[in-house]
Every structure is written in structure tokens, then in C-alpha cells.
Structure 1
């Protein structure tokens, strides 16, 4: 074999191997830091792995030294679908739902995830829950999730803005959502849907979103302080129970190929806010020193994007 032919063959083989190389992305959940001098603590991490042109995404999630959870989730074929991406809030939600406090909140409960997308948060929750129903208005992802046949998970189509909600979605003890309060016009159907789906007692509502989005804070204030209801043209009372906003940071790294030496290249750090409402009769959620409960100063100090 000539040298030229040998070089060409090697290049083709390398190209073939690279085409099927595994790409990875690591995200780390950090405690909230109010100053540059305050070093944040790593609370948990999430690693995504994918093959180019693959139809599945492999994800490993761990929090607070908990045993890592391996998850395999399908990827929709529609490249324009919002459900095709694991958004930062979904990664943060997955990590938080592996925490000891969250697992205690979820244990033996019936969980409903709204706007599940790829379903990562709900699948993680299902590892501790009695059952978990994943809902979205993307019909392809719902069918893909059904095909997964995970024992205590079912997937259902749900559009929040529909007045008549499907009868086959049962009431639940906990409603969760990640990056679902990103526009103000979604808040009313989101609140109404959650209220309709939650049991009257021993229930909780958790929405994880970016802390620099005004709509995430609007949701928090609507539930904690009450709000004007456009449908009834009346002032609506605060929800009965306790409503808090918890703050964290998500440190995200760029997608890297396995053998890339620059694996620790930072892509960005995103402020994360968790709106948590618990009914009066629910056992108190166990906060740690790393679960920063937001203050008015915190809210005013965050530069909002939209």
C-alpha cells in the first residue's frame, strides 16, 4: 500500500470515529452567593452524553453525594420542537429532585410534571415517587415517553389553556415544572391547572426557572400575595399555605468530545429560582444552609432579562 493511500485510509477512519464520538456536557448546581468573596458550594451535578445523530440522550444525575441516577431519554425528530432541548432549569430541577429533602417530599407521592419536554425532571422524581405522570403539548415526545415503558411513569398530552382537561390525568400530591413560567401569559393557565390537579391536602407545587426572568417572580408573588384574575375580574386571595423562593446557581460547561483536553471550558453560570408552595398540613420541607431563601433585596439585586 502506498503512503498516500495509507494516509487517506487513516484520515477516513479517524473521520468515521469522530462522527460517532460521544459528546458530553457537565452542569453543576451551586449554592447561592451574594458576594464575590463568598465561595459557592457544589450541591450536585448532571452529565449529558450523546452520539451525533443519536435518538437518545444519556444523563447521569447526582446530588449531595447521593447515588448517581442513570437516565435514558428519547430525542424528538422535530428540530423546531421546544421539547427537543434540556434547558438549564430542567438540569437544575433534576439535580434538586435527587436531594434528600426532595426525595423525602416525593416519597410515596403521586407526582405530575407540567411541560415535561424530554421528561428528565419527572423521570428523576419517579425514582422516589409512587407514580409520576409526564404531560406536554408536544404529541411526539409524549409518544416517545410512552414507548419507554418505565414502570411507574405514564405520559399524557396536556395543553394548559384547554378549558376541558383530560379525565385520564389523575389528581396528585405534587406538581412540578421546569422552565414553564417563562412568559406572563402562561401564568394564569399554569396556576389554574396546578390548582385543579393538586389534592386539597398534603400537597406541594414546585416550579424551577431562571432567577433572571420576571415571570418566575410574578408566579411566586401571585401565589404568595394573591393577584388579579383576568378571567373573573376579581382580586384572587393568596394560596393557602407557605410559599418561598429558593435561589441557586447552575454552572454549565460546553459540549465536549470525550478526548477533548479542554473539558473544563465554562459556558456560563445561570441564576436558578425555585418557587415552592406547600399546603398547611404538609410536613415541613427540610431546608439546609445551602437552600438560600430569597429576600426582597435578592429579588431587587437580580438583573431581569424578560
Structure 2
């Protein structure tokens, strides 16, 4: 087993005109809505990819890793995965302050309800301090090999339509190749305020290196081009779609971004593939969610 299965109930008692997902019944992780998935607009609505987490340093400062931002991914009520180089920087000590959950607009105030000009209203962003940062013992800061940190929150996240964990990889997909597939990356962007999603077509490591030699890759990464030329903060989660028969039932976590580069007006990114780290994640997590 990849961890104990925990069931979370999605709360729908929202204020005002806050957006709700159309298919949230008993969806404890990785909420999937086909209509939302097919719509590729200029942003992802608040009830899409609700597992995106913003890392916060020193009472509100977002940090200095690659264009002033790092993201993580919520995998249970109290556990977040993120790149190790968002924490181990100059003195060899893992440092961070808190996380923000439910961020749709990176410029919006924290802790208050927000209504955007596009008509979407969202619950207040949750800020939760970190209790522990567990860095993978074989992390190499020079090469970014094994670039994984498991963050433990001081309290449980409150699960709402704009905050939800992502499902972990199902057992039948853990050993499948990640090359030559289409996944989705979502997160906060470097140059825009609103969260976005983008298709990613994965390629072989050798091909990526032949195109962008400076892109950080390793045997435990997967790389590929974004279909939209949008730059995301480091740590943006890469997710796949898990099917049950002919129906897609949820998203599951494939990895998270550890590096990206421009290449001929396109963006190529490298993602740490978490299928290689499930034992370490389980040892440092509580109540991982796997949907069979």
C-alpha cells in the first residue's frame, strides 16, 4: 500500500456567489471536472487544481528561488511536497515560514474573501505555519538530484472547494513510463497574477538535453514542452488523469517542476517524478490518499 486511505468530505456551504465545482460529490482528492479540463482560458478557475500551495518565507516574503516564487502540492490535510532547493539555499539549513492554500490570485490579500473582476469569488486564503521540513537524504544541491522536501503543517488544512489534496499515483500506474504522454501543469505564474493550467507533452531526457543543455534533468525526472508559453513558479505540480473504466475519475500527482527554460519561444520544463520517492514520502506523511 502507498499509505492509508483517508476520506475527506468537500464542504459546500459557501458565501455569496462563490464558484462551486460541478462534480464534487465524495471527491476526497484530485477533483476532476471534464468541462473545466477542456476549457483552456487565460486562467484556471478557483475550483481547479486546488492542491497548488504557495511557499512563504519570513512573514510573507515569497523567497528568491527562480523569479521570486516557489510552489508545493498538498497531498493530505497536513502534508505538502515541494522542491528541496526552495528551502536549502545558502547555509545548508532548511528554512521556510508557512504555506498559503487556496491562492487563485497571487496579488490578492491574504485571509479575506476575494472577488475578482471576472466574477469569481473565493474563500480566504489559508495560511498555515510549517512544523517540519524533511529534505531527502540524498538531495544534491549542485545537481538538484533527489530534489524533494516533505513539509508537515502545524495544523490540518480546511478542505473547501478551493483547497483539496491531490491523489497519489494509483498502484497500476506507478511503474508506467512517463515519456510520450500528455499531462497538466498548473500553478501561479511568474508574469501574471491568476493561477493557470497548461498541457505538457513529455519527451525523453536525451531529447530535452539536446534542445536545452542547461535544463536540470536526472534519471528521476521527466521533461517536456508546455503547449502555452507560460512561465510557472518552481514547484508547480504535474498531474495525470486516472480512469475508472471509460470514465476519468480524478487527477493524480505525477511530479512537480524543478526547472524551466525558454527554447525558441517555447517553454521546456523538468519535473521530479514522485513515483521514485513513494517510500520516503510515506515515511514523512500522514494519510496519503490513493484511489484504486
- Larger Rg belongs to: 1
Name the one with the larger helix percent. Answer: 1
**TM-score, length-scaled by structure 1:** 0.28
Larger RCO (CA under 8 A, 6+ residues apart): 2
**TM-score, length-scaled by structure 2:** 0.29
